[in-house]
A = this chain, B = another copy of it.
């Protein structure tokens, strides 16, 4: 299995620092989670039948004509490579590592291509995977460009997979509303924007025929009863969503500016900031010495949002004492 952020167990063990003493900035999960409603006892008790209410709510929220709820985007990332004959797959890079990993695991020929070169790669592949906005760099491909690529790929029976896991703050970038056209597949996550990663809920927007195949592959009862109920509440709470979009936009800018004052030119989105770093592991060590758990890659480091003012102060002090790049 690949390494991921959010692995506080590792931090606790490696540095012998108690859980409550860590400031966990290693994910892009919103630290201001959607408030959990009272759960109906039947949601825990009964086998979770598909919920028409959840589907309708999600269709409205995502503007998608047809959706399949899944137990987190990860389930779809693992399932989709199994629904195609061995193909030539281009995955935008650097990006969320599970995409390339799962396509390779399923036996496809995978090439990782920088965002700037995707345009020229469309002609020579069957499947393209783009995170939009990208995790961790925040790069965005315009919707009209994605739709053009999607048509090029669909014309030869190909797929464009757009992972919009971090798209909730910028809904104008989404192509979910166009997924009635064959070959365009959009992945959405409830975990990040709503701060509910423990729930295991995500959605796939795509052509009904493909969704049916994916549903068959994933099997029955994948989404828990409570996830259905809480998901319905969160996706229909327009007031919370609007306020949170503003709040996260502000906090993302605050993080960007804080990094800038320490000489760091970061990119990213509202939920995280990223910058290339020559010695990312060393920087992560420096942060860990301050009790701050971050995500480092081979090519750079990523920081999520502190959950409160004390967290912001602690981050500022740690940055002041560290080598930024």
Contacts and interface: CB of A to CB of B under 8 A. Distances in A.
Interface string A127-169: 0000000000000000000000000000000000000000000
Interface stretch (A173-181, A203-211, A218-226, A310-318): A218-226
Q: Interface residues of A: mostly helix, strand, loop or mixed?
A: loop
A309 interface: no
A152 to B, nearest CB: 30
Interface in A1-33: 1-2, 4-9, 24, 27, 29, 33
B220 A71 contact: no
A200 interface: yes
A2 B47 CA distance: 14
A48 interface: yes
A47 B6 contact: yes
A54 interface: no
A75 B2 CA distance: 20
A215 interface: yes
Given A6-B46, A45-B195, A224 B227 contact: yes
A323 interface: no
Interface of A: 1-2, 4-9, 24, 27, 29, 33, 36, 39, 41-50, 52, 71-72, 74-75, 78, 98, 102, 191, 195-200, 215-216, 219-222, 224-227, 230
18 contacts: A1-B215, A1-B216, A5-B47, A6-B47, A8-B46, A9-B52, A27-B47, A29-B47, A36-B41, A42-B198, A45-B196, A47-B197, A71-B200, A72-B221, A74-B220, A197-B221, A198-B226, A224-B224
